[in-house]
Chains A and B, each alone.
Chain A
Amino acid sequence: MDHILSLIIFFPFVAGLFGFLVNKDSVRAYGISVSAIEFLLTLVLWVGFDSSNAGYQFVEYTALIPSFGMSYYLGVDGISLFLVILTSLMTMISLIALNIEKDAKNLIISVLFLEMTMVGVFLILDVILFYSFWELSLVPMLYIIGAWGSARRVYAAIKFFLYTFAGSVLMLVGILYMGFLYHEATGIWSFALPDWYLLQIPLQMQLWLFGAFFLAFAIKVPMFPFHTWLPYAHGQAPTIGSIILAAVLLKMGSYGFVRFSLPLFPDASVYFLMPIAIIAIIMVIYGAMVAYAQEDMKQVIAYSSISHMGIVVLGTFAMNAEGITGSIFLMLSHGIVSGALFMLVGVIYDRRHTKLMSEFGGIASVMPNFATIYGIMLMASVGLPLSVGFVGEFLSLVGFYKVNWVMTLMAGSGIILGAVYMLNLYKKSFFGPITHEENRTLKDLNGKELTALIPLVALVVILGVFPKPVLSTIDMSVKKMLSLMEQKAVENDTRDLIINVNSIGGKR
């Protein structure tokens, strides 16, 4: 298991290259097989993962450009482990559900390349290489949205690309500045994240650097007011694009906060805590309200993503073990649930070629299985207890409660709003009389769709009832990160806050 991380990153890439030689009739089976093998590899990684070791495991290190301190540096810890598994799972599921026939070969190869970049982002510990994969992930997505999307796909693809690319160029300057600071402090060039963790930076400089990194992550999450690309991208993307976008790509941004912003700039994170929390609350409430106003099912789910990502950000900036662990768990659950919801919308879109709620009504009686699964996913999305959505949302809010209970209350109202728009969607589309004749003959889920969806339903229930194995692994690495933050904080206020929010009654 020495090189399993390299294997996990580059297996989809190599398989994608070989995919060019596969005949287009069999390429779908090829894609599913490759992604299944990849998923198995990530499961092997989990089995081999030592849950009592909070540090990086399976570390691989090779100097790449030694005179500039750049290296090929991989490692996995509790924070990234499950995001990698989520990536491979959702890629596999989305390929199983894939029903695009046109140029399917190009699409599947793009998805495999995309999988490489996404897994790479979560596993790479060298910052420049991280940046490379971060940017590279845009290219296959550009192609997927732009070539297989609906009417305004090209506009949506370009907007997605430019928005996220422009956001991350400042991060590059920030990265290089960090490299410079590290060189000033130690006399050696290094872009390895674990090295950078040890660097104490004065507050003023932290603020600037935090800003440079923040913009890139905030656009990716997407945080208000940088969220405008998301509804467009979702609205125009093909189902498989939406699934991967919602399930994994957005998580790259929130992962960036956890991996970079907090441990590298603890003082700046605390300094900006309130403004970010306010933005997060705006995301929760505003996203929910806009979602309620939508007539298009897919847009409802797109805006609900913004709302949920608001809670993820809030949990991350709670600065305590509960909040951060909860927000990472919420990333996983949101990945599963929103992926499933987009897939379900895709199912109905394939049958009716519309996503407008007004075109439906009373579908529950025609498509009972579809309605049931939709209902379960909806409840998970709202955060019903014992479903996967509840765990992360609850922990994130509990975490932030220690920072500020008023704001937590406001964010909590987002859950109620979430129930409002989701139940409204469900009522309009699934209950009541059948208003459109063509809806009477709709076919229920077929075998392919059930194969893709049932595992997700199972996960929603299992992880909702028994999240402990996942949570404890995440928690361990998060706690290690928090103690690092506390140690390297340069301001006493920061240290006080971190100790305060991580203990009950002000004592540890």
Chain B
Amino acid sequence: MLEPISINVASLNLPALLPMAILTLGALGIICVDLAVKKLNRSFYTMISVLFILLDLGAVIGYNGPTRGFFDVLLIDGIAIIAQVIILVASAFFLPLSLSNRHFKEFEMAEFYALFLFMIVGFQFMVVSDNLILIFIGLETASLSLYTLIALHNRAKAFEAAIKYFTMGALAAGFYTLSALIFYALTGSVEISQIEWALVDRNFEPLVGVLAGTVFMIAALGFKLSLVPSHTWTPDVYEGSSAPLAGYMSVVPKIAGFIVAMRLFEMLILSGVVWLENVLYASVVITMTLANITALVQEDVKRMLAFSSISHAGFIMGAILIGTTQANVALFLYWVLFMFTNLGAFTMLWIVRHQKNLWDERYQHPFTKFSGMVKIMPITATIMGVFMFALAGMPPFSVFWGKLYLISAAVNAQFIYLAVIMAVNSAIAVYYYMKLVVYMFLKEPVSNDAAIYETNASTPLKIIVGFAAVVTISAVVLVEPLLNIITKYVTASGF
């Protein structure tokens, strides 16, 4: 006979669940509305979803309760709050991209928005917990929603992408459970903090077990963060998905993954086991470099951006490897700035999207498509050029400041070689970003018809691009306030 469990409701700290509850309710509400009223316009769903996201954001920022909640599986510390803010802000910006000029089937369906909100809930659960099981549930909720969202794009390539992502993701989930299982077997707990204590207690013995758990975890998170060699799905999936979703995938799932990686690997690096650090070091360097080199030979802008986002993820893993407070602050600073620039770049691709592949049979956004764009659409070309140089880390645009702070963190923590490798990688990266600029500014246009570049442009999209451009260009004044806020939250949570 089991003992009856008696819990005090107040000790559950239910407000901690409020942000996720808001979105879940929102998603369910959208499904109910769809059942009752058919044929609602996509703008309705978009705006309602954005409103729910904003409510959620308010709940996240306004939360001031204990850091633990709901049977202590929730952990609302500083990094969880910043990560949620990034996730929600990015979602609020990416979702209105559905309001493009041309109509796409997926954006007409209420399910798209419900799934989108469920996905955000999943990501939020990933970051507000240090319980391996809850993280897993969050991860799977988000991933399963995302697979479906990709497939909803309803093109052959989209199905291919969804299936590919799904298969790879299933493998990653397998690795994740295996790793969680090993850690549970070693320590008798699934909470990262308790795993840490247990491992420290017995001096990280048996080492084989710890290493096996770590390797499986790197493999599992590696899929989500697209670290080499688990990155192979990224370009295909990005290519198959619609541009907004691809841009979304390059920002939001990764920040959720970074938080999990941060919680886990910081603890493991502290163990002082040199081997662990070396594994991570190697994966960081290879991810940055290999992705950069592969990006050099891409013929399609979207695939190039996919490889570039892999390389950026490598940079960020570098921050986790360094592990100092400054590095963790750099991680968030980098990602916030990268988010806006990447949002801009993918929105530009979305704007110039044409229903037919006029330029190349195989690719939708080959470089030749952008030939001589400055002569046809000077402003579009200039803004795109700014995004490209910003992604390349060209001062004084946004990503440069993230890179600067990150390399500075590497230098300060005596990771000089890593700093040099990062710097050299920036130099390699500038080539492929510049390739697009070269096509846009230095080549002759293929056709002088501006209209084919504008079929998908609409006012909301232009506003989003304009906003992203303003943030990208004026990043230098945003760095100080961002640094202050991020440093406050990061140090408060002890990272």
A→B interface (CB under 8 Å): 64-68, 103, 106, 128, 131-132, 135-136, 139, 142-143, 146-147, 153-154, 157-158, 161-162, 165-166, 169-170, 172-173, 176-177, 179-180, 183
Would B408 and A157 count as touching, CB distance under 8 A?
no
A139 touches B394 (CB 8 A): yes
Q: Which residue of the partner chain, among A146, A147, A161, A176, contacts B404 with CB atoms under 8 Å?
A: A176
Interface size bracket, B side: 35 or more
Q: Which residues of B contact A179 (CB under 8 A)?
A: 408, 411
Which residues of chain A have C-beta atoms less than 8 A from B396's C-beta?
132, 136
Residues of chain B lying within 8 A (CB to CB) of residue A106: 374, 378
Q: A158's contact among B407, B423, B424, B438, by CB below 8 Å, is which?
A: B438
Q: Does B427 contact A (CB under 8 A)?
A: yes
B46 close to chain A: CB less than 8 A: no
Contact A166 to B427, CB < 8 A, known contacts A106-B374, A158-B438, A161-B434? yes
Which of A66, A132, A139, A169 is the one whose CB lies under 8 Å from B424?
A169
A64, A147, A165, A173: the one within 8 Å of B476 (CB): A64
Report 17 cross-chain contacts, Cβ distance below 8 Å, ordered by A residue.
Answer: A65-B476, A67-B487, A132-B396, A136-B396, A143-B441, A154-B442, A161-B430, A162-B431, A162-B434, A165-B427, A165-B430, A173-B416, A173-B419, A176-B407, A176-B408, A179-B411, A180-B411
Closest CB of chain A to B380's CB: distance in Å? Answer: 14
Q: Are B405 and A68 in contact (CB-based, < 8 A)?
A: yes
Residues of chain B from 392 to 410 with CB closer than 8 A to chain A in the complex: 394-396, 400, 404-405, 407-408
Chain B residues numbered 366-389 whose CB sits less than 8 Å from any CB in chain A: 374-375, 378, 389
Residues of chain A within 8 A (CB-CB) of B419 are 173, 176-177
Residue of B404, B405, B420, B480 with most partner-chain A CB within 10 A = B404
Given A165-B430, A176-B411, 9 other A-B residues pairs in contact with their CB atoms under 8 A: A64-B476, A65-B483, A67-B483, A68-B408, A68-B479, A139-B389, A143-B441, A146-B438, A183-B412
Q: What is the distance, in angstroms, from A178's C-beta to the closest C-beta of chain B?
A: 9
What 8 pairs across the A-B complex have the smallest Cβ distances? A132-B395, A146-B442, A166-B427, A169-B423, A176-B408, A132-B396, A169-B427, A176-B411
Q: Pick from B374, B378, B423: contact of A170, CB below 8 A.
A: B423
Contact B434 A66 (CB under 8 A): no
Is B443 interfacial (CB 8 A cutoff)? yes
Complex CA–CA separation, A180 to B408 (angstroms): 8
B214 within 8 A of A: no
> In the complex the two chains form, what is the Cα distance from A338 to B108 in whole Å?
64
Q: Are A173 and B420 in contact (CB under 8 A)?
A: yes
CB distance from B161 to the nearest CB of A (A): 32
Chain B binding site: helix, strand, loop or mixed by DSSP?
helix
Q: A388 CA to B407 CA in the complex, in Å?
A: 45
Contact present for A154 and B438 (CB under 8 Å): yes
Q: Give the docked Cα–Cα distance between A347 and B483 (Å).
A: 53
Q: Does B234 contact A (CB under 8 A)?
A: no
Given A143-B442, A146-B441, A157-B442, decide whether A135 and B423 contact each other with a Cβ distance below 8 A. Answer: no
Whether the Cβ atoms of A173 and B423 lie closer than 8 Å is: yes
- Measured in the bound complex, the distance between the Cα atoms of B396 and A128 in whole Å is 10
Residues in B with CB closer than 8 Å to A131 are 395
CB-CB contacts below 8 Å: B189-248 with A: none
**Docked pose: A169 CA to B396 CA in angstroms:** 14
Given A136-B396, A165-B430, check contact A67 B438 (CB 8 Å): no
- Least distance between B387 CB and chain A CB atoms (Å): 13
Instruction: Give the shortest distance, in Å, between A200 (CB) and chain B (any CB).
Output: 19
Cβ-defined contact, A154 with B395, below 8 A: no
Known contacts A132-B396, A162-B431, A177 near B416 by CB under 8 Å? yes
Contact between B480 and A66, CB atoms less than 8 A apart? yes
Contact partners of A162 in chain B: CB under 8 A? 427, 430-431, 434
Within 8 A of A (CB), among B465-489: 476-477, 479-480, 483-484, 487
Interface status of B426 (Cβ within 8 A of chain A)? yes
The CA of A106 and the CA of B434, in the complex, are separated in Å by 19
A169/B411 in contact, CB under 8 A: no
Q: Does B480 lie within 8 Å of A67, measured CB to CB? A: yes
Query: In whole angstroms, what is the CA distance A131 to B374 when docked?
Result: 27
Q: In the complex, A365→B484 CA distance in Å? A: 71
| Bound-state Cα–Cα, A499 to B119, Å | 71
Tell me, in angstroms, the Cα distance from A182 to B376 when the chains sit together.
Answer: 49
Contact with A along B40-82 (1 / 0, CB 8 A): 0000000000000000000000000000000000000000000
- Say how far A96's CB is from chain B's closest CB, in angstroms: 25
Complex Cα distance, B378 from A146, in Å, reads 16
* A-side contacts of B374, CB under 8 Å: 106
Q: Roughly how many angstroms separate A494 CA and B443 CA in the complex, as a whole number?
A: 53
Are B434 and A158 touching (Cβ within 8 A)? yes
Query: Given contacts A64-B480, A176-B404, is CB(A157)–CB(B395) below 8 Å?
Result: no
Residues in A neighbouring B442, C-beta threshold 8 A: 143, 146-147, 153-154, 157
With CB as the reference atom, state the residue of chain B lying closest to A167: B427
Q: With A157-B438, A169-B426 given, is the CB distance from A135 to B408 under 8 Å?
A: no
Q: What 1/0 mask marks residues of chain B from 425 to 446 whose CB sits below 8 Å from any chain A CB?
A: 0110011001001100111000
Nearest neighbor of A149 in chain B, beta-carbon distance: B442
Query: Are A128 and B420 within 8 A (Cβ)?
Result: no
Q: Chain A residues with Cβ under 8 A from B424's Cβ?
A: 166, 169-170
